[in-house]
Amino acid sequence: MIELVIVIVILGILSTVALPKFVNLSRDARIATLEVIKGAMASTSLLVEMKAKIEGVENGGIKLNGQTVLVNNAYITGHWNNAWRHALDIGKDIGFTRTNATCTLNDICGVGNQRNHSGLPSSIVPSPAIARGLVMFWLEGTKLDDLCYAFYYNPSDGNSPTVGVVDEGC
């Protein structure tokens, strides 16, 4: 009987030490997924920029993956249906998802043509006077308001776009 109590106490101690590690692993996995999306957005943005410059398109559309993708100042725009939906090729179509919706239709959801969202670094928060240029991707089972998303922002003023991750709520 004493041995059984000792085993239960040891298991209790181990579970209190191990449980936080497992909880952090799921957070780490979400953040890692967003970092992969961030990298894909950064490389896609660079690819579109180079293609636009080679084709001499400053503002307008270029062909990418058989679709027309809009550019502004040779950078991919922050529009969803006319840019990122076609540019970020992850093997499946990611349809537009409303900003207040939980991501349920896909592993990743996205929205574009936004002006601002909570959690963005203050250095890139778009001014209301600037055209919409913010695209955000978030993961299945989460909402944008959970503050766990990757973003792309084209300021539409000739400056380079910003790509990043908001992971406060992951």
Domain range for 114 is 2-166
Measured from the Cβ of residue 121, the count of other Cβ atoms closer than 10 Å reads 11
What are the tens digits of pLDDT across the range 5-29? Answer: 675 656 566 566 666 655 678 899 9
CA dist., res. 100 & res. 118, Å (int): 12
Structure tokens belonging to residue 133:
């240029």
Query: Looking at per-residue confidence, does 5 or 69 come out higher?
Result: 69
| Cα 25 from Cα 146, distance rounded (Å) | 18
Provide the residue type at 170 as one letter.
Answer: C
pLDDT attached to residue 80: 87
pLDDT at 14: 56
87-90 long-range contacts, Cβ below 8 Å, gap at least 24? 87/44, 87/48, 88/40, 88/41, 88/44, 89/65, 90/40
Element (H, E) at 111: strand 108-114
pLDDT of residue 10: 65
How does pLDDT run across 85-135, given as a tens digit for each residue? 888 876 666 777 888 899 988 888 899 988 888 888 877 765 555 567 899
Question: How far apart (Å, rounded) are the C-alpha atoms in residues 110 and 85?
Answer: 8
- pLDDT recorded at residue 102: 92
pTM for the full predicted model:
0.82
112 neighbors 78 (Cβ within 8 angstroms): yes
Task: Give pLDDT, residue 48.
Answer: 94
Query: What's residue 94's pLDDT?
Result: 76
Domain count, the chain: 1
